Amino acid sequence: MPEGPSIVILREETAQFSGHKILRVEGNSKVDLNRLLGQTVRSLRSWGKHFLIELEDASVRIHLLLFGSYRIDERKEATPRLSLGFDNGELNFYGCSVELIEEPLEQRYDWRTDIMSEQWDAGRALEKLQGMPGTLACDAILDQQIFAGAGNIFKNEVLFRIKVHPMTKLGALPAAKLQELVTETHQYAFDFLKWKKAFVLKQHWQAHRQGTCPRCQIPLVKAKLGLTNRQSYFCEGCQKRYIASDD
DNA sequence: TGGTTTGTTGCAGC
DNA sequence: AGCTGCAACAAACC
């Protein structure tokens, strides 16, 4: 469920509720759900992996984390974390993080950082990356302050596409490769969206959870690298580990 | 069958 | 003080 393109799909699937009043609220979320009752949905938005329900005097922020799920006009057996009833259907969330945002969304979120947004600013991302030469490539792609919406699949697929070893420091990358890292992360987001909608996302994985390099036909390396302890899949044959001059 | 995992936070321990 | 690593959450997938 949870990477940026999946949240865009969630936003599209729930568009029917925009402009409708919340007639019923239930759920085991710790936030005060009563205050949502009677409010009209101003807009349904997303920022990175965040799904945002903008109401009249607050917004609800849903983060599906790793295992979260949702149902539209149907229910699962489990108790919903948040269930919203409208005059034209219902929206149920399970196993997710729910938070209330009191301030205006424009104040909280910078959509230039969201890889799925029309306001995505590649130049700004590049500047941020240039300012952190010691950061590993595998950590940079997971940084939500730079690529909001990118996750572990992105990390593995983008580094494979641009033929960069996950342990390469940004400062060691040639300028053109750093630029490629930005453009391919953005490009992969829309490939992900297209393939997920067609139910063929996994078929297009070249490195993530794969055993053999499709370019070199040698075994891929599987290792937990970087600050995040997330699994990396990469090819030691074709993904180059650039070395900085001061290393 | 059960280990793994599209994620993040908070806290214990050092 | 600031880091690291783990628990917690909770469920589909191979």
How far apart CA A118 and CA A64 sit, in angstroms, is 23
pLDDT digits (tens, 9 = 90+) for A5-47: 999 999 999 999 999 999 999 998 888 888 899 999 999 999 9
How far apart CA A199 and CA A212 sit, in angstroms, is 22
Tell me the CATH number at A164: 1.10.8.50
pLDDT digits (tens, 9 = 90+) for A44-87: 999 999 999 999 999 999 999 988 999 999 999 888 999 999 99
Beta strands in chain A (DSSP E): 24-26, 43-47, 50-54, 59-63, 69-72, 82-86, 89-94, 97-101, 221-225, 230-234
CB-contacted nucleotides of strand B (7 Å): 4-8
Amino acid identity for residue A207 in this structure: A
- Is residue A22 within 8 Å of residue A86, measured between CB atoms? yes
Q: Is residue A247 part of a domain?
A: no
In angstroms, the CA of A50 and the C1' of B14 are apart by 34
In angstroms, the CA of A127 and the C1' of C5 are apart by 31
Give every CB contact of residue A222 below 8 A, 6+ residues apart in sequence: A231, A232, A233
Q: What is the pTM of this model?
A: 0.95
Which of A60, A87, A108 delimits the end of a domain? A108
CB-contacted nucleotides of strand C (7 Å): 4-6, 9-12, 14
In angstroms, the CA of A192 and the C1' of C12 are apart by 19
In angstroms, the CA of A245 and the C1' of C9 are apart by 43
Q: Are residues A102 and A177 in the same domain?
A: no
Q: Are residues A119 and A68 in the same domain?
A: no
Q: Is residue A117 part of a domain?
A: yes
